[in-house]
Amino acid sequence: MATVHTAIRSKMGSTLYYVTTMKVGDLVQLARPASEQDEWATSGLTERLQRELNDTRVRTEIAPYLAKSPDRFFGAMILLLDADEEPQFEPLSDLAKGLPHAYKAAMSKGLGFLTIESGDRIILDGQHRFAAMREVVITRMVNGEYAKDVADDEVTVIIVPNINMQHTRKIFNKVNRYAKTTSRGDNILTSEDDGFAIITRRLADDDGPLAGKNHKGEALVNYRNNTIAERSVQLTTLSAVYETVQLVAKHYNIDDTLNEKKTHVRPDEEILDEGYEHAQGWWTTVFEGMPVLSHGRDNTKILPELRAKDGDHGLLFKPATHIVLFQALSQILKNDRKLTLKDAVARAYQVDWKITSPLWRDVLINSAHNILTKREHYNLAADLLTYLVVGGRMPTNDVEQLRVRVATARGEAVESFELPAPLVH
């Protein structure tokens, strides 16, 4: 099928390419992803894996984003023209007569019309985005207020014509190799649709309980890393705060309405305000009920001293512990509905929070006194803290399972292992 496109002709290295725009409805009819090319399906294992589509991600994340977001936007896609003949490009400067010299000079740089007579049009980069557009426009299996509008959206397409397989694979490899995925911190800082991220930023901004700077002028919350160095004068990480927001939202059954992967659009301000009120309340209560934590927040010079391995509350200054603490507080309140959050925090503060405490060995801390970072360790530590605080109000079967899990984690004989006594019986 012959098509004509307004395009800009350019060249990088030995690669000639054209930049144009296409309506989504036209693109999904004309092109197909590289993963559906028979000759590429028989290539090496690495190349097959690179080109393999993640259908679940397409259907549950990207396609719903298109169908439900009025502010949807995609970056340029690379389309390989697999044809025996070169497409025909006619510079606008050859067609336009009587234009001022300045305009002709600008047009001579490559503005014109590209005519493609035949050949396969193969999506070389942007396969998942293309598959999502096809899912919305052709398959129509995704519901959303804007689903019917997607076909008329215009996307930028970079057309690379008639090159050999080796050259094609080089382009694919380099485009993917040098593409850098944004960090979790960057995503939290920039997302305007992720309710958890929006609330997390509010906690660290303006009058939030985690707002402010340390004595070095750095933000109190580290957004660059997911861990905190022992000598750091920052209190916690943005990533850890984000997880505490998720835990609080789940406690109040509003996590689905804040979850970008489920809503795909910015939550209503009412639900954001509700989520922030809960998260802000929990963090404020934790600071009030754990004076050493608020003391460190307000006196950042001594944070390394407070975080030290021999400090009485060193573990409370680890981001991982903040996640464990909030998870445990939610579980405590569900196990003992007579307890208030204030009471739960006060009891949790009585626990031995030394990094060197045998209590946390192989549960949250390894033999070198470093944090164990797997989710299973966080869960085990939260369950142990819950047991220590609620005591006999924890179901007997849950206590027995906890005993076995802790013994197993420590490599001790299950038959003779006993849990430490809870704070209350």
Structure tokens at 223: 């957004």
3-state secondary structure of 259: coil
Residue 206 has pLDDT above 60, yes or no: yes
Q: What is the length of the chain?
A: 425
- Give the pLDDT score at 106: 66
And the tokens for 5?
A: 């496109």
Please report the pLDDT score of residue 141 as a whole number. 85
214: pLDDT confidence band, cut at 50, 70 and 90? very high
Task: Please give the average per-residue pLDDT across 209-231, as a whole number.
Answer: 93
User: H or E stretch including 132?
Assistant: helix 127-134
Out of 201-210, 263-272, 301-310, 416-425, which region has the weakest mean confidence (pLDDT)? 416-425
User: What mean pLDDT is reported for the chain?
Assistant: 90
**In this predicted structure, what is the pLDDT of residue 52?**
67
Query: Environment class of residue 215 by beta-carbon count within 10 Å: exposed (0-12), middle (13-18) or buried (19+)?
Result: exposed
Q: How do residues 306-356 score in pLDDT, each as one tens digit?
A: 999 999 999 999 999 999 999 999 999 999 999 999 999 999 999 999 999
Joined tokens for residue 186: 């960057």
- Greatest mean pLDDT among 133-142, 166-175, 274-283 lies in 274-283
Share of the chain above pLDDT 90, in %: 70
pLDDT of residue 110: 84
Task: Indicate the pTM of the whole model.
Answer: 0.84
CB 116 within 8 A of CB 145: no
Average pLDDT, integer, range 289-317 = 96
What is the pLDDT confidence band of residue 39, given thresholds at 50, 70 and 90? Answer: low
Burial of 398 (C-beta count, 10 Å sphere; 0-12/13-18/19+): middle
**pLDDT value of position 51:** 52
Cα 166 from Cα 158, distance rounded (Å): 19
pLDDT at residue 173 greater than cutoff 80:
no
Asked if the model's pLDDT at residue 109 lies above 70, the reply is no
**Contact status, residue 127 vs residue 50, Cβ threshold 8 Å:** no
Confidence of residue 271 (pLDDT cuts 50, 70, 90): very high
Helices (H), 191-318: 195-203, 238-251, 255-258, 260-263, 269-289, 291-298, 303-307
pLDDT of residue 48: 44
Residue 127 to residue 54: CA distance in whole angstroms: 10
Candidates 266, 264, 271, 22; CA nearest to 143 is: 264
Residue 77 has pLDDT above 60, yes or no: yes
* Tokens, residue 113: 């019309």
Indicate whether 45 pLDDT > 80.
no
What pLDDT band is residue 94 in, cutting at 50, 70 and 90?
Answer: confident
pLDDT reported for residue 320: 97
Higher pLDDT: 2 or 275? It is 275
More confident residue, 10 or 41: 10
CB atoms within 10 A of CB 34: 22
For residue 215, pLDDT beyond 90 = yes
Q: Are 293 and 316 in contact (CB under 8 A)?
A: yes
pLDDT interval class at 423 (50, 70, 90):
confident
Q: What is the model's pLDDT at position 35?
A: 73
How high is the pLDDT of residue 38?
58
**Percentage with pLDDT > 70 across the chain:** 93
**Integer Rg of the chain from CA:** 28
- What's the rounded Cα separation, in Å, for the pair 389 and 377? 18
pLDDT digits (tens, 9 = 90+) for 49-63: 345 678 899 999 999
User: Domain map of the chain by residue range?
Assistant: 3-177, 184-410
